[in-house]
Structure 1
Amino acid sequence: METTAARTLEERVAALEAVEEIKALKYRYLRACDHKDADAFRDCFVAAGATMDYGPIGSFEDRDALTEIFRNVGLARDGGGRYVVLDMHHAMHPVIELLGDGRAKGAWTLRFRQVDRVAGTEAVSAIEYDDRYEIEDGRWLIRSSHVTVLWRIARPLPEGVAFEGSFA
């Protein structure tokens, strides 16, 4: 027979595990964005009713529609077959609150860097995420995400800038 203290400890451990699973989910999402992995991106969202408000880019519903936007913008290539847009997401300062019944909400700060080869620009942004999460088929997934851009600065790339790496 379990004691109250044992149950409380189990509940506390379960809560810590849930928060870590949600953090891992967000990191998988960001990694999928940076690695241009549309399938991994799609797999971060609930099967039906996912929403994403990207602020200036627009709002989208359903994980398939979200993934299509990701493919069209994030995976676009130039005439030489190189990715047009290069992204770097650095999420930090997570505040995750478990709401019960397999639901949670989270706030994240994002430091975002983007290179646009066609426009010849580099942009740096400070962004806040307001997310909702749900357990679906035994794992945490993103139900909704709302992006607020706090500030953004864009500058032209220097003449003769060279790209190296697997996306160069």
Structure 2
Amino acid sequence: MEITAAGTLEERVAALEAVEQIKTLKYRYLRACDRKDADAFRGCFVAEGASMDYGPTGSFDDRDALTAVFRNVGLAQDDGGRYVVLDMHHAMHPVIELLGPGRAKGAWTLRFRQVDRVAGTEAVSAIEYDDRYEIEDGRWLIRSSQVTVLWRIARPLPEGVTFQGRFA
């Protein structure tokens, strides 16, 4: 369903509201990743039947399997209790299309930066998301996500690099 002048004012407003709710969902998901909030992360996906293909990270057939990987990788800590992996997600250029009542698809561009303290590397990637969304229990959630890595560079962290902030 496109947002056009052909629909009634109520239909057009409802479509705009749906698009904004989907954008907010995606931002909530990305913030959960960066803030290492596994419960908020899990809450972004449909309860059953979610499918996620994260390319090199793997494919998962439900939100619990995906959340388990997030906990094992994204929340891993070193012997000093510091997070091993630090992520920064910057999503942009959303193209959201409403497909019908309670269904939508979206395409996003992601600029992703990741520091791996164990490997001593920093990586920067250009990534594309192809998502499907649906309403479950009155709110938009992610049904599926397909990730395509367009390019990635990795480089060693400079000698003597220090970290500051909440996850230092």
For structure 2, which runs of at least 5 residues remain unmatched after alignment? Answer: none
User: 1:165 aligns to what?
Assistant: 165
User: 1:68 aligns to what?
Assistant: 68
CA distance in 2, matches of 1:50, 1:78: 31
Task: Kindly state the Cα deviation for residue 85 of structure 1 after the two structures are TM-superposed.
Answer: 0.1
CA distance in 1, matches of 2:130, 2:66: 17
CA distance in 1, matches of 2:113, 2:27: 16
Q: Does 1:144 align with 2:133?
A: no
Task: Kindly state the Cα deviation for residue 75 of structure 1 after the two structures are TM-superposed.
Answer: 0.2
Letter matched to residue 47 of structure 2: A
Letter matched to residue 149 of structure 2: V
User: 1:9 aligns to what?
Assistant: 9
The number of residues matched between the two structures is 163
CA distance in 2, matches of 1:120, 1:52: 28
Letter matched to residue 120 of structure 1: G
CA distance in 2, matches of 1:150, 1:93: 15
After TM superposition, the structure 1 = structure 2 runs for residues 13-162 of structure 1, keeping only pairs within 5 Å, are 13-162=13-162
1:164 partner SS: coil
CA RMSD of aligned residues (A): 1.0
Task: Kindly state the Cα deviation for residue 51 of structure 1 after the two structures are TM-superposed.
Answer: 1.0
Runs of 4+ in 1 over 6 A off after TM superposition: none
CA distance in 1, matches of 2:16, 2:76: 39
Summarize deviations over 1:97-151 as a string: whole Å, max 9, x none: 0000200000000000000000000000000000000000000000000000000
Give the share of equivalent positions with the same residue, in percent. 89
